[in-house]
Every structure is written in structure tokens, then in C-alpha cells.
Amino acid sequence: MNATDRTPADLLRSALAADPGRPLVTFYDDATGERVELSVATFANWVAKTANLLQGDLGAGPGDRVAVLLPAHWQTAVWLLACSSVGVLADVGGDPAAADVVVSGPDSLDAARACGGERVALALRPLGGRFPQTPAGFADYAVEVPSQGDRFVAFSPVDPEEPALVVGEVELTGAQVVEQARADGEAGARVLSGLSYDTWDGLSAGLYGPLASGGSVVLCRNLDQLGEGALVKRVESERVTVSRL
């Protein structure tokens, strides 16, 4: 993290420069048994590919709105940082009909069809797997993203004072996201978060706070399916220092 970082994408670039090999996001889905660990470098590569897809293939740019209809998931975190990289507004749980692009998980496809612009579907399967059959009217993220470039350069400079994130009733500029994440984060903390991404608290604990503070997150989906004893073991094995449940 540098004092000059003004957007979430800036925070990621600083983390990459400082220590690309350290863990950033460790994801568990306790409904499927999936565990994925992404280093800063691996996460940043996914972000670059996704930003290239968003800017190039989907034609999104500053001033556009992306409705993000996804749960707390490592691929959701990637999309949020890709939106910051391009300079589009990420509207978490937002109205697809008011969006230029919608990004949907398998459970919200019907709602996502209200978007008159580009539609992307994520299967959210283990190992980033694709849909057995691509949903009609959508591009399958797992099919489209692998061929994208590993380096990203925005066509237009990202203005940190422009709206960057909407969640619930909260709208924040890129600079405000960074400021609030710095205030929330604990330096070097390894945060276990079972919170959803539909509030600022969930987004801060599950992504922005650890990113801004040089920490990492153990992001848990379907944590209610994990027994209390197993949770204690996870906290110990993952060397968690802060829990947000």
C-alpha cells in the first residue's frame, strides 16, 4: 500500500509490486468442499484478464454501470477489481435493467435478463469451471476469460473522484473506497470473513480492508454448513487473526 493509491486498482498494483507471492484471497465453499488460494500475482492476473474482457469484448468504460449479481466468491472479488481497473461503476446487487453490463451467478440469471446490454454468466463451479451448457443470452465467463491478455492498460485514465462502487444505499468514489478500506483494515491481518458481499461491511472484511492493509482474507461461502469445531480448526490451520462472521 502506498500513500498515493487512490483507487482499489492502485492498491492491487502496490500489493503486486511489494510481494507478489503472498496469499491474498483464500476461498472456501462449504457446500461443495472447494478451497482455492490465490496469491497476489495470481489474483492480479485474473483481474487483468477480466478487465481486458470488460473493456475490450464488452465495450465498457468510464461512466458505465456494471450490475454485479454474485455472492461472496473469489471470482466476485476479481470482478470488483476489474471494474476499478476499467473505471466503471460496480453496482453490487444492482438493478440489471439500469446497467450497461450485468455479471450474474447461476441463481440470478432470470433477473439478469432484464439488462439490455452485455450479459456475462459465471457458473461459480470449483476450479472456475464453465457451464455444461452456456445460458441463452449470456457469455460464459469461464469460456471467454482464459484467452484474454495478461496485462491490462485502460483506454481512459480512471478518475478516483468518480463513483466506483454502489452497495445497498452506499455510493462511494474510488478514493472513498480506499479511504474507508484503510480505516477498516488492520495491518497485516489475516481475516476470516463469512459475511455476504451485499453490504459495505462484507465487502470491506472480505476484500477491500485486507487489500488496503497488506493483509489477506479467508473468504467463506456457505459457512453455516460448517460445524463449530471445524470452524475452530480452520481458524487455526489458516492462521486467522481476525474473524468477521
Domain ranges of the chain: 8-244
Q: Fold for 8-244, please state it.
A: Rossmann fold (3.40.50)
- What is the chain's Cα-based Rg? 17
Please tell me the predicted confidence (pLDDT) of residue 1: 60
The x, y and z cell numbers of residue 175, run together, are: 478514493
Please tell me the predicted confidence (pLDDT) of residue 180: 97
Q: What is the pTM of this model?
A: 0.97
User: Do 23 and 44 contact (CB within 8 A), yes or no?
Assistant: no
User: Do 237 and 223 contact (CB within 8 A), yes or no?
Assistant: no
Residues contacting residue 183 through CB under 8 Å, at least 6 positions apart: none
Query: pLDDT tens string for the chain (245 positions)?
Result: 677 899 999 999 999 999 999 999 999 999 999 999 999 999 999 999 999 999 999 999 999 999 999 999 999 999 999 999 999 999 999 999 999 999 999 999 999 999 999 999 999 999 889 999 999 999 999 999 999 999 999 999 999 999 999 999 999 999 999 999 999 999 999 999 999 999 999 999 999 999 999 999 999 999 999 988 999 999 999 999 999 99
